[in-house]
Structure formats: C-alpha cells, structure tokens
Structure 1
Amino acid sequence: MFSLVVQMEVRPGRREEFLAGMAANAEASVRDEPGCLRFDVCSVEADEHRFVLYELYADEAAFAAHKASPHFAAWRVIAEEVLVGQVNTPGRLLVTHPSEESA
C-alpha cells in the first residue's frame, strides 16, 4: 500500500477556510475513490496553523487517480490561497495494527 504523510502550514487567519476545504477533499477522497483507504487530518499541538495528513492508498495508481480527481483540483485552488507551505513524504505501509473498533 502507498502511504503519504503531508505536513502543512496555514496562513494566519485562514485556518477555518483550510479546514473546510481539506474536510471536503478528505471526505470525497474516501467516498469517491475506491483506492483511497484512509485520509486523516490532524492538528499539531500548540500550533493552530500546522497540520499533518495521513493518507493511505491501495497503490501508486490509486494515488495518481486521487491527484487527477475533481475534488483534488478544487482543493488545490484553495491550497494556493491558504497554505504557506507543505512537505510531502511518500512511503509504503509495512505494519498496521487496527483496533477492533476500526476493523
């Protein structure tokens, strides 16, 4: 499985706009993309302008499909306005231990 960790910094005063746009992107990703298995948006403690995303895809082709989706294109328009910067770290899921609640 293809994984992606994204660190994002949001411009001051744009947090709510970021959260609305990112929530729509994440929701559409897991709802509309069969290859998108997980899309988590996390805040960073003690810094309201920093966020970490954890995304999990069936494979690299599923991630490519995500980047070609209409909801990702809509998100990129918002991102241009609200982000100071971001760092993407792609990888592979090697081990997972889901709780019984999420299984």
Structure 2
Amino acid sequence: MFALVVRFELRDDQSAARFDELTRQAVDQIRRAEPGTLVYATHTVAGAPLSRVFYEVYADEAAFQEHEKAAHVIAFHAAKDPLLTSQRVEFLVPHVAEH
C-alpha cells in the first residue's frame, strides 16, 4: 500500500467554498475511474474553517502515479492552487506499533 495525507490552507471563505465544490467533482471522478485508489477521504478540520485534509490510500505507488497523471486530477490541481495559501504533503510509511 501507498498512503499520504495532505493539508490545505485556504485563502478565505469564498476560496473554501470553491475548493469544496472542486473537491466534490474530483472525488466523484476518482471513485469512478481509479480502481487503484482504495481510499480518498476528505475532511474539514475542527476549529479551522479554512483548512482541509485529504487522506489517500493507493494499492501501490504505481496506482498513485496513475492518479497523479489523470486528467481530472491535473485539472483539480490547476483550479485549486490559486485558492490556497499553503499545502503540506506527508507520505506515510506502514508501521506496526511495538507492545
């Protein structure tokens, strides 16, 4: 599996509303067209109305690369970038907690 978390900080309320609209459209296309995308969960952040967090899980790194090359993802990135003040991407590594 290949997983990541992305946190987006939005410019203002109007940017947040537009970002949410773009996200709904993108997630619909991701769910329909990307069998290698296992989880694509989007969240608001309690107490931070201009923050959004995506949790993404892919079958493997190849599925993630296919996701990144998809036309609907490229269009989403181009449309959402002007709405942001920042974003942070964290790639996750599977880990088993020791007892």
- Tell me the TM-score normalized by structure 2: 0.88
Alignment of 1:74-85 (within 5 A): 74-85=75-86
Which aligned segments of 4 or more residues in structure 1 are displaced greater than 4 angstroms? none
Deviations 1:42-63 (A, max 9, x none): 0011111001110110000000
Deviations 1:54-84 (A, max 9, x none): 0110000000000000110110111222111
Which structure has greater helix proportion? 2
User: Structure 2 unaligned runs (5+)?
Assistant: none
**CA-based RMSD:** 1.4
- When structure 1 is superposed on structure 2, of 23-32 and 3-12 the one drifting more is 23-32
Matched residue, 1:9: 9
- When structure 1 is superposed on structure 2, of 25-34 and 67-76 the one drifting more is 25-34
- Tell me the TM-score normalized by structure 1: 0.85
Q: Determine what percentage of the aligned residue pairs are the same residue.
A: 32
Alignment of 1:1-103 (within 5 A): 1-12=1-12, 13-94=14-95
C-alpha separation between the residues in 2 aligned to 1:7 and 1:19? 14
Against the structure 1 CA distance between its residues 94 and 27, is the aligned structure 2 distance closer, same or farther, given a 3 Å change threshold? farther
Residue correspondences, number: 95
C-alpha separation between the residues in 1 aligned to 2:95 and 2:43? 21
User: Structure 1 unaligned runs (5+)?
Assistant: 96-103
Against the structure 1 CA distance between its residues 54 and 76, is the aligned structure 2 distance closer, same or farther, given a 3 Å change threshold? same
